[in-house]
Amino acid sequence: MASADITPAQPKGATGLLLLADGTALWGHGFGHIGSAVGEVCFNTAMTGYQEVMTDPSYAAQIVTFTFPHIGNVGSNAEDIESRVEAAVGCIVRENVTPDSNFRSKQLFDEWMRENGKIGLSGIDTRALTRYIRLNGAPNAVIAHEPHGQFDLPALLKRAQDWAGLEGMDLAGRVSRKKQEDWEGGWWSLGKGYGRASRQANPHVVAIDYGSKDNIFRNLVKAGARVTVVPAKTSLEDILALQPDGVFLSNGPGDPAATGEYAVPVIKALLERDVPLFGICLGHQMLALAAGAKTIKMHQGHRGANHPVQRVGGGWGDSEGLVEITSMNHGFAVDGETLPEGVEQTHVSLFDGTNCGISIKDKKAFGVQYHPEASPGPQDSFYLFEKFVGMLG
C-alpha cells in the first residue's frame, strides 16, 4: 500500500519526477517519452556511449543514472544501437539535453528517446542520487514525464511499492530474440561492414541470446568465427543439430538463478559433451551455476567503463597479475566462495574483490563477468574473443 509520505513537494515548473518506493521524490524536467515506467534505479559511470547503454538489454527494467553530467551532446544515430529489444526504461541526467554536436549524429537524443519509448529526467543532483544508491542499495522507483506537470502521486507511489524488483525475475526470456538467425553486421558507415566475412569454412559458434549486444557478435566474427544466434530457451537437441564448434553464452538482464532454471540444464549437458563454452556477464553466471557455484544480488552492482579487473589464475604465465580496465553492467555476481573443486577463479574486481572470471579445469570452458566487447568502454579485453575462437580449430 502507498502509505509513505511523498517528499519534497512538487516545485513550480517541474515536468519530470523520480519517485522512490520510500516516498522520496526527485523533481526535474522531463524529456523523451511522455508517460511513466517502473524499474530499479542504478548508476553508470561511463563518460561516453549513452546510446549503447540505453539499448543494452542487460538494463531491462532499470532506470539509469548517468554520473557524467553532459548526456545527449553528441546526439544519436542508428549504428550505436546495441539491440532493438527491451532495454533501459529511462535515464536520469544532471544537465538539460543540449543540441547535438557530432559528425555522426542523425537525431537529437531527446527525439530518439521519445521515438523509442524511453523517459528522461534532467536537472537532478546525480551525485546525491549516486551516494544514496551506494549507501542504501539500488531502489525500486517510478520515473515519469508529464509536460503539464500533472502527476497522480499516490498511484505512482503505489506502483513503485508494488513492483517486485529484479531478484527472482527472469528477464532473459523476455528480451531474447524469438527465432534463430545467422548473424551478419558491422560498422557500415566507417567502412568496416563484415557482411559475409563469416564463411562456411570458419569455426561455427552457436550463440545463445539471453539479451545480447551486437558488438559481441562483431568481435566473434572479427576473430574468425561464423555465428548462428539462437533464442534463450533453445533446446540442447536443437543446438547440437547446428553442429557447433563452440557455444557462446551471452549477456542479459534479470536474476541468473531464475534464468538458470531452463539455461543451466542445457549448459550442463554441453559441458558433459566437452563442447567449448565462453560466457559473458549473465552467460558467465550461467556457466558458473552449471558448474555448481551460486550467484548473489549485489548491493549496488557494477556499471561503467572504468572497472579494474586483475588476472589471478587460469595459467596466464607472465601476464598473471595484469590489470585490465573493463566495461561492466551487472547487479548480480558469482559468489566466489561457492566455486567448487575443478572451477578456478581467473579474474577479480579491484574495486570490491568480487568474482569476475572463471575457468573450468579439463574443459574448454571459461567466462568473464565484464564486457570484453566494450560498447562503450576500453578495448583491453578484445583478446578473449580470439582466445575462444582459437580453441575451436
pLDDT of residue 313: 82
Of 31, 20, 13, residue with least CA distance to 112: 31
Listed as ranges, residues in the chain with pLDDT below 50 are: 1, 188-191, 193-198
Pair 224, 84 in one domain: no
Pair 87, 24 in one domain: yes
pLDDT of residue 218: 95
Q: Is residue 1 part of a domain?
A: no
Pair 274, 379 in one domain: yes
Whats the size of the chain, residue-wise? Answer: 393
Domain that holds residue 334: 172-390
pLDDT of residue 12: 96
Q: Is residue 5 part of a domain?
A: no
C-alpha 124/C-alpha 128 separation (Å) is 9
Phi, psi of 6 (to 5 degrees): -95, 115
pLDDT of residue 195: 47
Pair 227, 154 in one domain: no
Q: Is residue 196 part of a domain?
A: yes
Report the 10 Å Cβ neighbour count for 164.
8
| CATH, residue 315 | 3.40.50.880
pLDDT of residue 3: 59
Give whole-number Cα distances, 168 to 246, 253, 255, in Å: 29, 11, 5
pLDDT of residue 136: 96
Of 88, 85, 71, residue with least CA distance to 173: 85
Q: Is residue 167 part of a domain?
A: no
| 231-252 residue pLDDT tens | 999 999 999 999 999 999 999 9
Domain boundary among 127, 162, 197: 162
Q: Are 140 and 38 in contact (CB under 8 A)?
A: yes
E strand residue ranges, the chain? 16-20, 25-32, 35-44, 62-66, 90-92, 119-122, 140-145, 181-182, 186-187, 192-193, 204-209, 226-231, 246-249, 277-280, 295-311, 323-334, 343-349, 355-360, 365-368
Residue 318 CB contacts under 8 Å (≥ 6 apart), including other chains = none
Active site residues: 281, 371, 373
| 314-326 residue pLDDT tens | 777 788 999 999 9
